[in-house]
Amino acid sequence: FFVIFLWHMTCVVWFGVILVGILLTSGVEVSGQNLAEFNPNGHLDAEGGKRARSQRTVVLDVDTDEVYHRWDVDCNTTHVSKNVQVVQGCTSPVPCGRRVLDDFWEDGEMPEMIDLLDRAFSVSPPTSAVACWDLSTGSMLLDTIDRGLNLYHISTPDGRVRSVLRDDDKQLLWLIFERLRERIAHEFGVSASGLHLTHPSFARRYSINVDERRIMPDWHKNYYNMHVDREIRPWWDYSVLLYFNDFGIDFEGGEVAFLEYNATDASLVVEPREGRVVMFTSGAENRHAAEEISVGVRESLIVPFTCDPTFAVPAFQRKKFLKEF
């Protein structure tokens, strides 16, 4: 009887092992977690490509019903430059962190911005997989040509020069930049009057490479390597990402992953969503990178702010801003 009992128990144990193996390999949810989703195998390390994720990784998906998300993190002043003015109560350390807003835009603004981006990016050749428009200068960088274009000085067939920006576009940009400045001040407890739009503010359109043999330019590859904004541009104090189309519908990949300074796994992964705004302090506490696009086209706008007035662009002097742009 004892031998029969042991045989039955052995069968039960082996059945359990086989069942768990089937669940893990099939991605079936176990204890509320899809273990296959968080398996870091197949993800590249922090030097490029997909960021490793763990069960501690928070994934903010595209379909969430909540419109406001907040994460506070400890400030890291590793990359604070001696050549940039430290403004008390504005330059970190302040309450550092990340914010995701899905209710930033007012009625009619999103279609107008998408129309502006469509007109701007229509200047680039259809074979371009990467286009980057610097709003500060008008320069358009493309992966298919060695020299950029200037969207504020486009030559017409009759010999005239025109700008892609209309007067209503300038007004829209001014309103968006102003509202971003006020929202950053509110979220991070700093004075709005001490925040300044800085350079470069740039829009990106990125699609899957139409020619896999093409070598991507360094200015594009750096965007997908794990980086600290302030290390690259020491005058940046606050960074803002604005998205104009949807992860899982318009493209696959393209999420932004945040890692703490010495971490190897992403602590937060944000899936882009039309109208979604991600703002964060620009220091080493917010190392981040965008994932590579695998399908479709992703459009985004990156807007930085500084506390040092010597690096300001005149976005908040309304007449000067509208005239210069």
Could you tell me the CATH number of the domain that includes residue 239? Answer: 2.60.120.620
Domain-embedded: residue 16: no
More confident residue, 294 or 250: 250
Q: How confident is the model at residue 96 (pLDDT cuts 50, 70, 90)?
A: very high
DSSP string, 184-200: HHHHHT--GGG-EEBS-
Predicted pLDDT at 93: 64
Q: What is the pLDDT of residue 137?
A: 85
The 10s digit of each residue's pLDDT in 240-262 is: 999 999 999 999 988 998 987 67
- Asked whether residue 219 carries a pLDDT value surpassing 50, the answer given is no
Q: Is residue 49 part of a domain?
A: no
C-alpha to C-alpha distances, 156 to 131, 139, 144, 159, 298, nearest whole angstrom: 21, 17, 22, 5, 29
Beta strand 268-270 with 58-60: parallel, antiparallel or unpaired? parallel
Contact assessment for residue 315 and residue 309, using Cβ atoms and an 8 Å cutoff: no
Per-residue pLDDT at 266 exceeds 90: no
pLDDT value, residue 112: 96
Tell whether 25 is covered by a domain. Answer: no
> For position 260, what pLDDT does the model report?
76
* Cβ neighbours of 244 (radius 10 Å): 22
- Mean pLDDT along residues 163-177: 91
Residue 144 belongs to a domain: yes
Does 220 or 193 have the greater pLDDT score?
A: 193
Q: Is residue 7 part of a domain?
A: no
Q: What is the mean pLDDT of residues 203-229?
A: 64
Segment 145-156, tens digit of pLDDT: 555 678 888 877
Stretch 128-137: mean pLDDT: 82
> Is the sign of the CA dihedral 73, 64, 302, 142 positive or negative?
positive
Buried/exposed code over 206-223 (b: 16+ C-beta within 10 A; e: otherwise)? bbbeeeeeeebeeebeeb
The total number of structural domains that make up the chain: 1
Region for 39 from its dihedrals, namely left if φ exceeds 0, alpha if ψ lies in -120 to 50, beta otherwise: beta
Task: Please report whether residue 273 resides in a domain.
Answer: yes
Backbone angles phi, psi at 101, to 5 degrees: -120, 130
What's the pLDDT score for residue 98? 95
Residue 65 lies in a domain: yes
Say if strands 251-253 and 139-142 run parallel, antiparallel, or are unpaired: unpaired
Range of the domain at 228: 58-322
87 against 251, higher pLDDT: 251
Q: Residues 84-105: what's their mean pLDDT?
A: 85
Q: Which of 124-128, 179-183, 220-224 has the highest mean pLDDT?
A: 179-183
The answer to whether position 95 is within a domain reads yes
Give the pLDDT confidence score for residue 317 in this predicted structure.
Answer: 59
Cα–Cα–Cα angle for 233, 239, 242, rounded to 5 degrees: 130
Residue 97: predicted pLDDT: 94
**Average predicted confidence (pLDDT) for the chain:** 77
Start-to-end Cα distance in the chain:
90
pLDDT (average), residues 52-78: 84
Count of CB atoms within 10 A of residue 109's CB?
15
Rounded to an integer, the average pLDDT of 58-64 is 88
